[in-house]
Structure 1
Amino acid sequence: MDKLLLKEDRIHGDASFPLDSYHMDIPSGSIVLDCHWHEEMEFLLMTSGKAQFRIDTDYYEVNEGECIFVNSGELHAGFQINDSPCSFKALVFSPSLLYSSSFDLTRISYIDPIMKNSLIVKRHIKSDTGWQSQLLDRLLKLMVYMQDKPPAYELMVKSELFGIFALLSANCISSLNVAERSQDHFRLEKLKTALKYIQDNHSKKISTVDIAACVDMSEGHFCRVFKQYVKKTPVEYLNHYRITRAAKLLEETGMKVLEAAMEVGFDNLSYFTGLFKRHMGMTPSRYRSTRGKAPE
């Protein structure tokens, strides 16, 4: 799977079964997972190598055979360790998959408290304790069901998912002290607003002043906060987002390179070509000829 597809605007599964799984192979020197967020919950299971993941303000070094849990609405990103290649499987699903048609006890007591972080569950799951090993076994079985799709696999998937949340709930760490993370929460909400502003306006001429203004922060302070969490400057993130969108246009439409560049907000073809090659490892023309449609 192309890692450009694992973005917050991607539809995972469908309305009747809002869950999907993906396998990602990350070559040496690449970003494991761009900083993003989505309403769905997610499990990331390392299948080879190791990587560092950030969820909101916390960092986790995840080794082969381990997984991390990403809650609904949380900013997260992944980074290689020593530029080493790695691979992982991602399970992305809507919490609604665990709801019944009525407001039931399991939702009130377990699913909603986890989703709202009023019940803190362990994020980094290893195989060194009994219940965590059971959780990993369930997650692996679920992934196999999603891959093979045997008869009634949807029931099997939901059964394993309920089992996973039963293990998380029964072994929760603590309830959240709201005051502990109020400042981080404030900054993260501002950052999510800024990311959405960039994505909604990437085709226009926007500056760091414009982005900072949309979250009522000074340019200098905003740039420091943005770099702290995203590991890119606002301009670097904007350019990266524009390049990923241009790559999708070259893959899926008959646009010429210049048309794709202008569509995502670039007005200088040479600058666009240089950035595209730096991010994608090849020129836009080469990318389109190997992965996209011929221009109409």
Structure 2
Amino acid sequence: MDIHHLRENRRHGSPGVPVGLYRMERAAGDPILDNHWHEEAEFLAVESGEAVFQIGLSTYEVRAGEVLFIPGGELHGGYALNGAACTYAALVFDMEWLLSHGDSATLQVLEPIRRGRLLPEPHAVKDTELASALYSHLERLLSLEHSDDPAKPLRLKAGLYELFAEYVSRDAFSRSEPRSPLDAHTQERLKAVLTYIDTHYARKLTIKELAHEAGMSEGHFTRVFKSFMRKTPVEYINLLRIRIAAALLAERKTSVGEAALETGFDNFSYFCKIFRTVYQCTPSEYRQRNGGQG
């Protein structure tokens, strides 16, 4: 994911086959998955280790052999559980690709899922028939990541139908109440603020300004932000700025001072302090290790 964008703007797959297959290995203590969202739906399987994943305001402790379903448009992320290493795989896909005009599978299952009216169980727990079936299907699909099989598009589409068929055959749909319009509206307002931060990170941002953008009081905004993002607004902005600064140091002929100024830090000592906290080295050391010049 481009660190400049909380909302993923990358294309998953191709226009004709809008499916992305990804594997991520995270060492013990490493960040797992930054909070973000994309319009595509996603299946995520933990292959080894364990982690906590958050979908909206719900959190799930996910271990090897377990599967999550993440509806399109939902804020989601992950963080380490007990400092453990974790390897996970994701299949990100456009639900529209699976729809056929007027057929019963579309009308009764796929379209309601796409619209959020029917919710597959978000967490398929290990040692259940559902988890075993989903995990097996996903591993088979993920094995196609680098395949040049001419039948790959058909296998991917057929495999996605099989995944949803596992939910239908077991009636494995969430019995919890769907998100209230207020909850949905709150998440949309938060997304708007995150996009605003993404656009304006290089200048001074205040809680008052961000709360106004969200249409909330400062106190309520701060509580909502932390409940979704697991960071205060200031912590989130600092982390975003530092990661962008790190990219500038590694990829361009940018001095440490220029990187600080370009990412909204007007106090050089504070920039260096936050940078060291995130990367366990000084900005200059990071630059030298990652190919920066001079």
Amino acid at match of 1:276: F
Normalized against structure 1, the TM-score is what?
0.88
Q: Deviations over 1:143-163 (max 9, x none)?
A: 001134434322212221121
Quote the residue 1:114 is aligned against. 113
Q: Does the CA-based 8 Å contact 1:114-1:120 persist in structure 2? A: yes
Q: Quick check: 1:240 aligned with 2:239? A: yes
**TM-aligned CA deviation for residue 292 of structure 1:** 4.0
- 1-side partners of 2:51 and 2:61: how far apart? 6
Task: Give aligned pairs, total.
Answer: 292
**TM-aligned CA deviation for residue 222 of structure 1:** 0.8
Q: Does the CA-based 8 Å contact 1:57-1:184 persist in structure 2? A: no
Structure 1 residues 112 and 119, CA, compared in 2 at 3 Å: closer, same or farther?
same
Structure 1 residues 277 and 126, CA, compared in 2 at 3 Å: closer, same or farther?
same
Which segments of 5 or more consecutive residues in structure 2 lack a partner in the other structure? none
- 2-side partners of 1:218 and 1:45: how far apart? 38
Which segments of 5 or more consecutive residues in structure 1 lack a partner in the other structure? none
Q: Give the match's secondary structure for 1:203.
A: coil
Structure 1 residues 289 and 107, CA, compared in 2 at 3 Å: closer, same or farther?
farther
Q: Deviations over 1:207-251 (max 9, x none)?
A: 111100001111111111211221111010011111122222233
- 2-side partners of 1:264 and 1:29: how far apart? 26
Could you tell me the percent identity over the aligned residues?
Answer: 38
- 1-side partners of 2:45 and 2:2: how far apart? 15
Q: Quick check: 1:136 aligned with 2:145? A: no
Q: Quick check: 1:200 aligned with 2:199? A: yes
Q: How does 1:39-188 map to 2 (within 5 A)?
A: 39-99=39-99, 105-170=104-169, 171-173=171-173, 177=177, 181-188=180-187
Q: Give the match's secondary structure for 1:34.
A: strand
Higher RCO by CA contacts (8 Å cutoff, separation 6 or greater): 2
- 1-side partners of 2:292 and 2:154: how far apart? 39
Normalized against structure 2, the TM-score is what?
0.88
Q: Does the CA-based 8 Å contact 1:3-1:24 persist in structure 2? A: no
Q: Does the CA-based 8 Å contact 2:65-2:132 persist in structure 1? A: no
Q: Quick check: 1:23 aligned with 2:23? A: yes
Quote the residue 1:294 is aligned against. 293
- 2-side partners of 1:5 and 1:90: how far apart? 21
What root-mean-square deviation, in Å, do the aligned CA atoms of Structure 1 and Structure 2 show?
Answer: 2.5
Structure 1 residues 277 and 150, CA, compared in 2 at 3 Å: closer, same or farther?
farther
